[in-house]
Structure 1
Amino acid sequence: MFETFDSFQKAFYDLRMVGFSRYDLSVLGNDHALQEKFGSAYLSAKDMEDDPHVPRAAFVSEEGIGELEGVIIGGAFYIPSYIAMAATAAAGVTATATAAAVAIVGLPAAAIGVLLARRVHQHHKDYYADQIAKGGILLWVRVSDKKREKLAVDILKGHSGKDVHVHDWSI
């Protein structure tokens, strides 16, 4: 359990650097998955950390969110712009008119893309802020042997992981 996103992310990256697969690492599932499983009951991180049936999800890095934002903004600009360009080019319009059509269609679409990308980024931040408010960000690590177990525990504790312990169950 981590009290800050920064310490959590550093532990995640260090685990990846020493060879843990992203499939061996999981975080708490989203609110929808938790509500399906537990209803509207308030559960703290401490309540959920030892439950093997708690919904889990893959970690999405800040870089991954940045790439998604780029795709949203770029796609929002590119697709309408391409359609406008193709339509004006097919009509035999001049290059200046085609550029104007692309600007008229593409720039507002890109602005909408920026707003959508900001929403994605804020949702990502809120997800982890909510976990911190409920006691901390949970990170589960699947290990295959005692050597990897010790390595994972050392990394988690080295990045201020709280209540780091081992379970004999696996998911």
Structure 2
Amino acid sequence: MTKDPKTDHTTYINIPEAVGVFDNFETLQAAIYDLMMSGFSRYDISLLGDKEAMKEKLGKSYWQAKDLEDNPDAPRAAFVSEEAIGELEGAVAGGFFFLGSYIAMAAMLTPLSTLAASIAAIAIGGGPAAVVGAVLARRVGQHHKDYYADQIRQGGILLWVRTTDTAKQDLAVKILKGHSGRDVHVHDWSE
């Protein structure tokens, strides 16, 4: 896929941005939580996009984190916490259990069915659906883990933070460095 300069372009805004590279998810997450506790909005925080976004925006080249820190064409993604992934996994698994149980319950709750038969139908209908939900939930969690593992293999997890003034720049740099961020610096624009 080649970029067409007439239709493919990146919009820059004149808001400085701090950038840092992290070697593991735990320190990245701690830095993000500290940023948010210090007044940065989650909308000011972005990470590198996944492989598909990279291929779409930058082609099939092999990119390292150091090559993308200050590349305005690097695709961005929002941070998703482990807690949010856990909630999503629970919702997927629970939703499938509920759906299976509801279908079985609707089929069995007739005037002629007994309570024992209805409970058995709900358990039998909900069980396989819960297994399907658990498998799908595990895939969601694994995709999330693979996303970070792939970035670590490519030189680290990139984190960008929009900063509106010098005080915010200094604070962002201090937080990123305080959580073992590497190559922490500020550039004069953001995407």
User: What TM-score comes out, normalization by structure 1 length?
Assistant: 0.96
Structure with bigger strand share is 2
Take 2:111 and 2:102, find their aligned partners in 1: how far apart are those partners?
Answer: 14
Structure with bigger helix share is 1
Take 1:59 and 1:69, find their aligned partners in 2: how far apart are those partners?
Answer: 17
How big is the shift at 1:39? 1.7
Aligned amino acid, residue 12 of structure 1: I
Where in structure 2 are the equivalents of 1:30-109 lying within 5 Å? 30-90=50-110, 92-109=112-129
SS at 1:141 equivalent: strand
How well do the aligned residues superpose, as a CA RMSD in angstroms? 1.0
Larger RCO (CA within 8 A; separation ≥ 6) = 2
How big is the shift at 1:91? 5.6
Aligned amino acid, residue 89 of structure 1: L
How big is the shift at 1:88? 1.4
How big is the shift at 1:2? 0.4
- Residues 135-168 of structure 1 deviation map (CA, whole Å, 9 limit, x = unaligned): 0000000011111111000000000100111111
SS at 1:163 equivalent: strand
Match for residue 155 of structure 1?
Answer: 175
SS at 2:36 equivalent: helix
SS at 1:103 equivalent: helix
- Residues 103-141 of structure 1 deviation map (CA, whole Å, 9 limit, x = unaligned): 111111111111111111111111101101100000000
Q: Which runs of 4+ in 1 moved over 6 A?
A: none
Aligned amino acid, residue 45 of structure 1: A
1:15 to 29, 35, 39: 35
Give yes or no for the alignment of 1:129 onto 2:163: no
How big is the shift at 1:84? 1.3
Give yes or no for the alignment of 1:116 onto 2:136: yes
The answer for unaligned runs of 5 or more in structure 2 is: 1-20
How big is the shift at 1:92? 3.8
Take 2:51 and 2:158, find their aligned partners in 1: how far apart are those partners?
Answer: 14
Aligned amino acid, residue 175 of structure 2: I
How big is the shift at 1:47? 0.8
Identity among equivalent pairs (%): 63
Take 1:66 and 1:74, find their aligned partners in 2: how far apart are those partners?
Answer: 12
